[in-house]
């Protein structure tokens, strides 16, 4: 531990609450408070700022998933959790690039996060598969599916947006799109 | 039986909580009674969850990117990881490799030298020789710095003492040599060709022209016969044959050459450039022309260059003599005006000159 970063870290419980409420402000505070720490870690260990960005964003996703799944217990500081996740992720990435690092320079204490990362990897795979499937799906299916299932728009809105004559037509279209998406998703 | 399309729409409505009343109870009744339908609902639900996970994550990523854009990354970078110099970074990164490479090289070299018997050879003589060279080089370089003209300086007669050459200015014991020969001296002696040494005192120095006038104060000194040579007042021409006598060793050595340039080192107008073999110890020796006129006094040669010696012009010797306040002298310093060397062969000239040329020994 070389240099402790001075920053007024937001209270962990506030952040957890903010994540559950999808608060943009919370995300912003989380990002500005903890990104420097990760940037330091990556820069000092053979990486650049883009690596730091990727690693940090991934760790935030891990945190969000953990909190949203409802199995998040505050048994360590959030900072430590994020740092540990980033550290693992970065070491893994270095390993993949077959860059070995003799002694990683640490800037914070660490906790075991292997379980969380295993879960995350599974989710990550599904995310990538879904992304790929959606991209293969093409328009207008992609937008219809996103609007209906992700944005939770009503069938009526979608109908107007795409200019279907009635909601039944739209529903049929949505059904076809969904079937294709499922096919694509389970194929890959 | 409803079509898949209708069923799916129904499930979507159910999952979104849009069903109510009889529709909802019908739906739940159907799930219980038809296991395959129930499975369909569960599968669909899972897929929708997957989709919404995807949506959430995509949204989160885009939000984070917006935040990231708003940050001043360079400032944070400077704060958390001040840029170290590239060399230091490389050194940190490769120091272990460097150390290993250096060790390997060292071992390889030692092993090679050992196996070729390099260490068993006696190299002490080489070392000594080398040292002597370095010393003489250093001396001539030092002389170069001291004066615009570089001088080979005095060859040491014995360890701890320096030597040069000097020659009589008059028959009553005045001797001229180079200033650099006697510079920093504790005591100075002159020794003639018979091996007799006399104590002298320094009566005049002229560092600018690198000249020093000495007077023999030793009671054992007997007046010389009148000088055979004169001092040439005018400058000599390039191409003029000249010779010098000096003490590069414990014996007088005659050197023969010619004036090769009107000016000395780096255009120094005080000196001539002379092509003549001179060595450490020749400093202060007279430079004479064929008729036996002193035209200069050897004071140096260019380091690392062959055949370029320098001699202070005789007119400056005369100027120095004039500059000595005559009142302060015990005996009058009279410069000889009569030349008895002209027309003699070099052998005879040398014989006549012999008693007037001294080795200057400096302690």
Please indicate, yes or no, whether residues A96 and A161 belong to a single structural domain of this protein.
Answer: no
Instruction: Indicate if the pLDDT at residue A1 is higher than 80.
Output: no
Enclosing domain of residue A64: 12-113
A131:B51 CB<8 A: no
**What are the tokens at B278?**
């001179």
| CA dist., res. A14 & res. A100, Å (int) | 38
Query: Is 80 exceeded by the pLDDT of residue A170?
Result: no
Q: What is the CATH number of the domain that holds A29?
A: 1.10.1740
Cβ count within 10 A of residue B33: 9
Q: How far apart are CA A152 and CA A174, in angstroms?
A: 13
pLDDT digits (tens, 9 = 90+) for A55-88: 888 888 888 888 877 767 767 788 888 888 888 8
Residues of chain B positioned with their CB less than 8 A from the CB of A3: 80
Q: How far apart are CA B309 and CA B264, in angstroms?
A: 8
- pLDDT for res A188: 66
Q: Which residue of A has its CA nearest to B43?
A: A182
B-chain CB neighbours of A149 within 8 Å are: 48, 51-52, 55
In a domain, A127, yes or no: no
Same domain, A17 and A102: yes
Do residue A28 and residue A108 come from a single domain?
yes
| pLDDT, tens digit only, all 363 positions of chain B | 467 777 777 787 777 777 777 778 887 888 888 888 788 888 888 888 888 888 888 888 888 888 888 877 777 777 776 666 677 778 877 888 999 999 999 999 999 988 887 766 544 333 333 333 335 545 554 454 434 444 444 444 444 467 788 999 888 889 999 888 888 778 888 988 888 889 999 888 888 888 899 999 888 888 888 889 988 888 889 999 999 998 887 788 899 999 998 887 777 788 888 898 888 788 888 999 988 899 999 888 777 667 788 888 988 888 888 888 877 777 888 888 888 888 888 899 899 889 899 988 887
Tokens at residue A94, please? 């270095």
pLDDT digits (tens, 9 = 90+) for B253-312: 899 999 998 887 777 788 888 898 888 788 888 999 988 899 999 888 777 667 788 888
Angle formed at CA A116 by CA A115 and CA A117, multiple of 5 degrees: 90
Same domain, yes or no, for A152 and A104?
no
Q: Which two tokens stand for residue B162?
A: 């320096």
> Taking CB atoms and an 8 Å cutoff, what residues of chain B touch A31?
64, 67-68, 71
Smallest CA–CA distance, residue B39 to chain A, in Å, is 15
List the end-to-end C-alpha distance of chain B, in Å, as a whole number. 130
- DSSP assignment string, B189-253: EEE-TTS-EEEEEEEEEETTTTEEEEEE--TT--PPPPPS-EE--SPPPTT-EEEEEE-SSSS-E
Same domain membership, residue A153 and residue A105: no
CATH number for B162-362 (one of 1.20.210.10, 3.30.10.20, 2.40.10.120, 3.30.390.50): it is 2.40.10.120
Tokens of B64: 């984070």
Mutation to test the B interface, candidates A62, A130, A186, most B Cβ within 10 Å: A130
Share of chain A above pLDDT 70, in %: 89
A151 domain residue, yes or no: yes
Q: How far does the CA of residue A86 sit from the closest CA of chain B (Å)?
A: 16
Q: Which of B81, B88, B92 to mutate to test binding with chain A, by most A CBs within 10 Å of its CB? A: B81
Under 8 Å between Cβ of A38 and A56: yes
Q: How far apart (Å, rounded) are the C-alpha atoms in residues A59 and B58?
A: 14
Q: Are residues A108 and A161 in the same domain?
A: no
Residues of chain B with Cβ-Cβ distance to A27 below 8 Å are 60, 63-64, 67
Q: Residue A132: inside a domain, yes or no? A: no
Q: Which residues of A touch B (CB under 8 A)?
A: 3, 5, 24, 27-28, 31-32, 35-37, 39-40, 43-44, 49, 53, 57, 60-61, 64-65, 68, 123, 126-127, 130-131, 134, 145-146, 148-152, 171-172, 175, 178, 182, 185
Q: Which residues of A touch B80 (CB under 8 A)?
A: 3, 5, 36-37, 39-40, 43
Number of helical H runs and strand E runs in chain A:
8, 0
Residue in the block written with tokens 């250096």: B102
A53 pLDDT higher than 70: yes
Residue A183 CA: distances (Å) to CA of A143, A146, B12, B92: 17, 17, 18, 54
Q: How many CB pairs under 8 A join A and B?
A: 88
Residues of chain A in contact with residue B63, where contact means CB-CB under 8 angstroms, are 24, 27
Q: Could you tell me the CA-to-CA distances from B30 to B8, B10, B17 in Å, in that order?
A: 13, 11, 16
Q: Do B53 and A123 touch (CB under 8 A)?
A: yes
C-alpha dihedral over B230, B235, B240, B245, to 10 degrees?
40
Nearest to A61 among B60, B67, B68 (CB): B60
The tokens of A96 are what?
Answer: 């993949």
A20 and A102 co-located in one domain: yes
Instruction: Give the count of domains, chain A.
Output: 2
Token pair for B360? 């200057």
Which residues contact residue A165 at a Cβ distance below 8 angstroms, ignoring those fewer than 6 apart? none
Question: Whole-angstrom Cα distance, residue B244 to residue B179?
Answer: 18
Question: Cα(B39)–Cα(A139) distance, rounded to whole angstroms?
Answer: 30
Question: Are A123 and B63 within 8 A, CB to CB?
Answer: no
- What are the tokens at B272? 């001539």
Pair (A38, A100) in one structural domain: yes
- Tell me the mean pLDDT in the region A125-139: 84
Going from N- to C-terminal start, the domains of chain B cover 4-69, 162-362
CB contact under 8 A, B67 and A31: yes
Are A28 and B77 in contact (CB < 8 Å)?
no
Q: What's the number of CA atoms in the CB half-sphere (13 Å) around residue A141?
A: 17
Q: How far apart are the first and last CA of chain A?
A: 44
Task: Provide the token pair at B193.
Answer: 């060709």
Chain A contact set for B76 (CB, 8 A): 35-36, 39
**Which of these three, A53, A80, A113, is where a domain ends?**
A113
So what's the pLDDT on residue A97?
78
**pLDDT computed for residue A103 by the predictor:** 65
d(CA B60, CA B76): 22
- Which spans in chain B are helix H? 4-15, 21-33, 35-70, 73-80, 86-115, 124-146, 179-182, 314-323, 346-353
Which of A38-42, A115-119, A124-128, B304-308 is predicted with the least confidence, judged by mean pLDDT? B304-308
Task: Indicate if A36 and A107 belong to the same structural domain.
Answer: yes
Q: Do A151 and B80 touch (CB under 8 A)?
A: no
| A98 domain residue, yes or no | yes
Asked if A131 and B54 come within 8 Å (Cβ–Cβ), the reply is yes
């Amino acid at each position: 531990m070389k240099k402790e970063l001075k920053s007024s870290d937001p209270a962990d419980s506030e952040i957890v609450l903010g994540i559950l409420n999808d608060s943009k402000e919370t995300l912003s505070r989380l990002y500005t408070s903890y990104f420097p720490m990760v940037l330091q870690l990556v820069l000092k260990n053979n990486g650049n700022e883009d690596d730091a960005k990727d690693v940090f964003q991934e760790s935030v996703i891990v945190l969000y998933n953990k909190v949203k799944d409802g199995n998040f217990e505050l048994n360590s500081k959030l900072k430590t959790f994020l740092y540990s996740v980033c550290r693992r992720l970065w070491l893994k990435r270095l390993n993949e690039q077959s860059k070995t690092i003799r002694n990683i320079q640490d800037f914070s204490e660490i906790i075991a996060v292997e379980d969380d990362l295993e879960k995350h990897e599974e989710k990550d795979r599904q995310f990538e598969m879904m992304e790929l499937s959606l991209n293969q799906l093409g328009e207008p299916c992609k937008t219809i599916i996103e609007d209906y299932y992700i944005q939770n728009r009503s069938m009526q809105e979608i109908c107007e947006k795409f200019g279907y004559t009635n909601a039944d037509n739209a529903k049929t279209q949505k059904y076809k799109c969904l079937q294709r998406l499922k096919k694509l998703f389970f194929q890959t | 039986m409803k079509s898949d399309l209708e069923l799916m729409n129904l499930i979507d409505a159910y999952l979104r909580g849009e069903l109510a009343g009889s529709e909802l109870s019908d739906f739940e009744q159907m799930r219980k009674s038809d296991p395959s339908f129930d499975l369909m609902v569960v599968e669909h639900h899972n897929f929708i969850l997957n989709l919404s996970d995807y949506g959430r994550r995509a949204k989160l990523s885009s939000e984070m990117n917006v935040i990231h854009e708003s940050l001043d990354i360079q400032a944070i970078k400077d704060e958390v990881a001040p840029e170290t110099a590239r060399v230091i970074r490389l050194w940190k990164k490769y120091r272990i490799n460097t150390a290993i490479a250096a060790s390997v090289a060292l071992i390889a070299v030692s092993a090679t030298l050992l196996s070729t018997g390099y260490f068993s050879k006696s190299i002490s003589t080489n070392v000594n020789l080398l040292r002597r060279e370095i010393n003489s080089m250093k001396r001539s370089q030092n002389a170069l710095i001291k004066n615009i003209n570089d001088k080979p300086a005095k060859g040491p007669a014995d360890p701890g003492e320096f030597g040069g050459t000097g020659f009589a200015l008059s028959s009553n014991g005045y001797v001229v040599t180079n200033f650099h020969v006697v510079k920093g001296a504790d005591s100075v002696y002159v020794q003639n060709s018979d091996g007799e040494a006399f104590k002298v005192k320094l009566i005049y120095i002229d560092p600018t022209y690198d000249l020093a006038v000495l007077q023999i104060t030793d009671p054992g000194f007997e007046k010389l016969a009148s000088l055979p040579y004169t001092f040439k007042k005018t400058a000599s021409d390039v191409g003029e044959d000249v010779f010098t006598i000096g003490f590069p060793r414990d014996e007088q050595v005659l050197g023969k050459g010619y004036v090769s340039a009107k000016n000395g080192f780096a255009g120094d107008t005080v000196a001539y450039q002379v092509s003549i073999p001179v060595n450490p110890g020749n400093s202060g020796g007279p430079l004479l022309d064929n008729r036996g006129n002193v035209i200069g006094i050897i004071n140096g040669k260019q380091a690392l260059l062959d055949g370029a010696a320098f001699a202070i012009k005789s007119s400056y010797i005369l100027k120095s003599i004039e500059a000595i306040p005559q009142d302060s002298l015990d005996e009058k310093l009279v410069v000889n005006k009569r030349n008895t060397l002209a027309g003699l062969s070099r052998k005879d000239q040398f014989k006549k000159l012999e008693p007037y040329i001294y080795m200057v020994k400096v302690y």
